[in-house]
């Protein structure tokens, strides 16, 4: 292994057994090979078949063949990865993947007691995520980029390769002689992330050779600041109630209102409001001074509205 990859895997200590999200591409191939070598008999692979590419069946067969050669058990989950109107294809795929992971883990027959899943995103992916967040005017949650470890609905996810360069991963996989899938969508520059990869990263490399490390340090500072805001949001929501009381929200400063409402929407409905939506919601809350004043604003795929003294989010496509 390259030094960075070796260090990353040596420092990686998840609870076993471990599942690796395996697409068949170069990055997940490296992660699966390294983990299977470190923990023989304790590593499983999960392949998500999104069904949106003509070659998806070929990708699945490649993963089956590779895992059979490696003697690693593989679970394949087919999902509908198509995006809804107004939803980005990347967001639709992400949601479908995490839902699939949760279903696999919930199915004890296929998960073998797995509660930890490793994902092969690396240092270049982290920089791309940060640049995308900056281009969209993101706040601290977006600028925190991708965490190395996090828990979602009882599953602990890991990104052990976040400090490893994409070129180092590719060089190591090539040295192993491992077969990989080259997904054509990864070089299609109609996607912003791919344009960043093809155009901006080489320019940054030429101008700031250590940009991956320095960007990682900046992300660490942002993560620390975001954790502080999250701690405050948890305390505020505990005092406001869930769903929150409008009168109690009004007692907070506007920045603190924004902070706690983002947290409430994220935890209660997996919804992240845009800046414009959140500002409109805050304005409506400020104007809500009479019993008959109504609040109603679309946020995500749902609506935040006033019900009595409380704020509620609901999805109008689901019967109340």
Q: What is the DSSP string of the chain?
A: --HHHHHHHHH--PPSSEEEE--SSHHHHHHHHHHHHHSTTSEEEEEEE-S-STTHHHHHHHHHHHHHHHT--EEEEE---PPPTTS-HHHHHHHHHHHHHHHHHH-HHHHTT--EEE----HHHHHHHHHHHHHTT--HHHHT---SEEEETTEEEE-TTTTS-HHHHHHHHHHHT------GGGG-TTSHHHHIIIIIHHHHHHH-TTHHHHHHHHHHHHHHHHHHHHHHHHHHHHHHTTTTBHHHHHTS-HHHHHHHHHHHHHHHHS----HHHHHHHHHHHHH--STT---EEEETTEEEEEETTEEEEE-TTS--
Segment 117-121 shows an average pLDDT of: 97
pLDDT of residue 53: 76
Q: What is the pTM of this model?
A: 0.85
pLDDT digits (tens, 9 = 90+) for 131-172: 999 998 988 988 999 999 999 888 999 999 999 999 999 999
Asked if pLDDT for residue 282 goes beyond 90, the answer is: yes
Q: Which residue has the higher pLDDT, 271 or 169?
A: 169
Domains of the chain (ranges; CATH) run 3-210 (3.40.50.620), 241-314 (no CATH)
pLDDT of residue 165: 95
Q: Place 110 in a pLDDT band, splitting at 50, 70 and 90.
A: low
């Amino acid at each position: 292994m390259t030094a960075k990859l070796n260090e990353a895997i040596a420092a990686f200590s998840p609870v076993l057994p471990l599942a690796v999200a395996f697409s068949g591409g170069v990055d997940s191939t490296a992660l699966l090979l390294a983990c299977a070598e470190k923990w023989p008999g304790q590593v499983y692979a999960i392949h998500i078949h999104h069904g949106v590419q003509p070659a998806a069946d070929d990708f699945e067969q490649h993963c089956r063949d590779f895992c059979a050669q490696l003697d690693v058990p593989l679970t394949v989950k087919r999902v509908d990865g198509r995006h809804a109107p107004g939803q980005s294809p990347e967001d639709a795929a992400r949601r479908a993947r995490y839902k699939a992971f949760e279903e696999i883990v919930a199915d004890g027959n296929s998960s073998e007691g797995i509660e930890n899943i490793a994902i092969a995103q690396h240092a270049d992916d982290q920089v791309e995520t940060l640049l995308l967040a900056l281009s969209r005017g993101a706040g601290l949650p977006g600028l925190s980029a991708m965490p190395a470890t996090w828990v979602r609905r009882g599953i602990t996810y890991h990104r052990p390769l976040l400090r490893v360069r994409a070129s180092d991963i590719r060089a190591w996989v090539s040295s192993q002689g491992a077969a990989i899938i080259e997904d054509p969508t990864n070089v299609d520059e109609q996607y912003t992330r791919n344009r960043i990869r093809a155009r901006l990263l080489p320019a940054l490399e030429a101008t700031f050779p250590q940009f991956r490390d320095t960007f990682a340090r900046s992300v660490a500072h942002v993560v620390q600041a975001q954790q502080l805001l999250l701690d405050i949001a948890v305390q505020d929501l505990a005092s406001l109630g869930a769903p929150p009381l409008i009168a109690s929200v009004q007692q907070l400063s506007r920045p603190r209102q924004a902070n706690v409402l983002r947290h409430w929407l994220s935890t209660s409905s997996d919804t992240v409001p845009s800046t414009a939506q959140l500002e409109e919601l805050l304005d409506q809350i400020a104007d809500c001074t009479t019993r008959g004043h109504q609040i109603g604003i679309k946020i995500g795929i749902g609506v935040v509205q006033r019900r009595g003294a409380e704020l509620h989010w609901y999805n109008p496509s689901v019967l109340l």
